[in-house]
Structure 1
Amino acid sequence: MWLEDVGLRYNRRGPWVLRQVKVGVAPGEAVVVLGRNGAGKSTLLQLAAGVLRPSRGRVLDRPSVVGWVPERFPADQPFTVDGYLAAMARIVGLSPITADRAVRRWVDRLGIGPFRTVRLSQLSKGTAQKVGLAQALLRPPGLLVLDEPWEGLDAAARELVPQVVDEVLADGGSVLVSDHRGETVRLPGAREWLVADGAVVERAPSDAAAVAVVELEVPVGQLPATVARLRAEGHHVLRVRGQNAPPEATRPGAGPSSEVAR
């Protein structure tokens, strides 16, 4: 997908939010979109996903299947989780049997089974965000666009996002993702686009020397709370070691013997 001289303003006399954007992402590539709040990151992602049409320029070679996850899922809808996902599966062209299989797969992976009969408007922000992620993946996307996908998610779901990205890339898809939590440290090798002053420029990935690794020692009884707090603050927990660590905490990324501090 390629953005060719793309510009956007929200009304004819309004300021340009983006102008003369010339960037592209190839199949199998992931791009992290960076920039301060209000710089135009979400606007860029919506242009890439086809949610917005450019005021100038054009978007070329956008895949036919695009998975779009906005920063805040629009939960004010009169559907249950099951009803919404089934309807979205029909919209993306899945047969009834394939749709049912896809819905069950993502409901199970994202842990939203207990909420299948709950109306969207009654969901917490984190659960609603999982529903938004599920709908974007019902049909394998050629382009997956994630706007702050970690926002509001629990620890297990946050760990799943990089797995999903890897799966899309392995299938030959492309991924665009924005993030202000520092979670994209989990996406090594991703390119970086910086949005500032209406322009989008590619920059070299952050130097590894700018990242510090800190080892922590905590009592086993405080392990779950420590892991949760570190991740909530945006740190990347790398591994656990120690004979007294619970078995489920010794998996890579599951415990707090070390974490990346930024």
Structure 2
Amino acid sequence: MRLRDVWLRYTRRGPWVLRNVSVEIGPGQAAVVLGHNGAGKSTLLQLAAGVFRPDRGEVLDRPGRVGWVPERFPADQPFTVRQYLTAMGRMAGLSAATAPAAVDRWVERLGLAPYREIPLPQLSKGTAQKVGLAQALLVPPGLLVLDEPWEGLDAASRDLVPVLVAEVLADGGSVLVSDHRGETVRLPGALHWLVAEQTVRVEEPSAAGGMSVVEVVVPTARAAGTVAALRAAGHEILRVRQEADQ
């Protein structure tokens, strides 16, 4: 899949959110989308998934089957887990005979069996995210797009995400994933798409296995100086979270 000279803004006369973006990802390849809050990571992922259409440029060779998992699963829907996943499976091309088996497989694998008949609005955020993962994988995707997939998941489910990514890649699919938790260190060999100043820079993984994300905790009074020093040393600042002095 390729994004060629893509530009996007949310309103006709609004500022450009992304501009002149040209990136590509091939079969069996993963890319980690990095950047600070508000840089346009989610927008880029939604362009790749087909949720947004570019104002300029074009998206080429998008696979016919895209698995899309947003950062926050839209759980305010009048369905149980089983009803929702069955309907999504049918929409993805599964037959009335094969959809229930696919639903059962992913319900069991993601630990959703106790919630099979629970309405979506009653689920916790983490459980709802598992439902989002399940619907994206009911039919093997040619492109899997994950926006902060680890957010809200329990430890066992967090460990499962890299396994699912590896399975998609082994089947010849491509994977795009964003993450502010540092979990993507579990995806060695992935490209890095660095979103900054409305465009995207691509970095190949290093021989040592790519980028590592480190969280540094400093007193609030020292935050600005620490950020400046890290940037001066060549480090990229992905996020600054303001909390009480520590």
Shorter-chain TM-score range? 0.7 to 0.9
Distance of aligned partners of 1:211 and 1:40 in 2 relative to their CA distance in 1, 3 Å threshold = closer
Question: 1:170-181 maps to which residues of 2 (within 5 A)?
Answer: 170-181=170-181
The C-alpha deviation readout for 1:181-223, integer Å capped at 9, x for no partner, is: 00001101111000001000112436749869xxxxxxxxxxx
**Structure 2 residue aligned with 1:26:** 26
**Structure 2 residue aligned with 1:116:** 116
**Structure 1 residue aligned with 2:236:** none
SS in 1 for 2:176: strand
**Structure 2 residue aligned with 1:106:** 106
How far did residue 80 of structure 1 move? Answer: 0.5
The C-alpha deviation readout for 1:95-142, integer Å capped at 9, x for no partner, is: 122211110111001001000111100000000000000000000000
The residue identity in structure 2 corresponding to 1:85 is L
TM normalised by structure 1 equals 0.79
Distance of aligned partners of 1:211 and 1:92 in 2 relative to their CA distance in 1, 3 Å threshold = closer
How far did residue 5 of structure 1 move? Answer: 0.6
Question: Is 1:84 equivalent to 2:84 in the alignment?
Answer: yes
The residue identity in structure 2 corresponding to 1:86 is T
**Structure 2 residue aligned with 1:167:** 167
CA contact (8 A) 2:148 2:179 kept: yes
The residue identity in structure 2 corresponding to 1:99 is A
**Structure 2 residue aligned with 1:142:** 142
CA distance in 1 between counterparts of 2:114 and 2:212 reads 39
Fraction of identical pairs, as percent? 74
CA contact (8 A) 2:162 2:186 kept: yes
Question: Is 1:189 equivalent to 2:200 in the alignment?
Answer: no
Question: Is 1:131 equivalent to 2:131 in the alignment?
Answer: yes
How far did residue 173 of structure 1 move? Answer: 0.3
Question: 1:67-82 maps to which residues of 2 (within 5 A)?
Answer: 67-82=67-82
Which structure 1 segments of 5+ residues have no match?
213-262
**Structure 2 residue aligned with 1:242:** none
SS in 1 for 2:98: helix
**Structure 1 residue aligned with 2:155:** 155
Corresponding residue pairs, total: 212
CA distance in 2 between counterparts of 1:97 and 1:190 reads 37
**Structure 1 residue aligned with 2:242:** none
Distance of aligned partners of 1:116 and 1:187 in 2 relative to their CA distance in 1, 3 Å threshold = same
Distance of aligned partners of 1:211 and 1:176 in 2 relative to their CA distance in 1, 3 Å threshold = closer
CA distance in 2 between counterparts of 1:173 and 1:139 reads 12
Report 1 or 2 for greater relative contact order, CA contacts < 8 Å, sequence distance ≥ 6. 2
SS in 2 for 1:16: coil
Which structure 2 segments of 5+ residues have no match?
214-246
CA distance in 1 between counterparts of 2:212 and 2:30 reads 21
CA contact (8 A) 2:185 2:212 kept: no
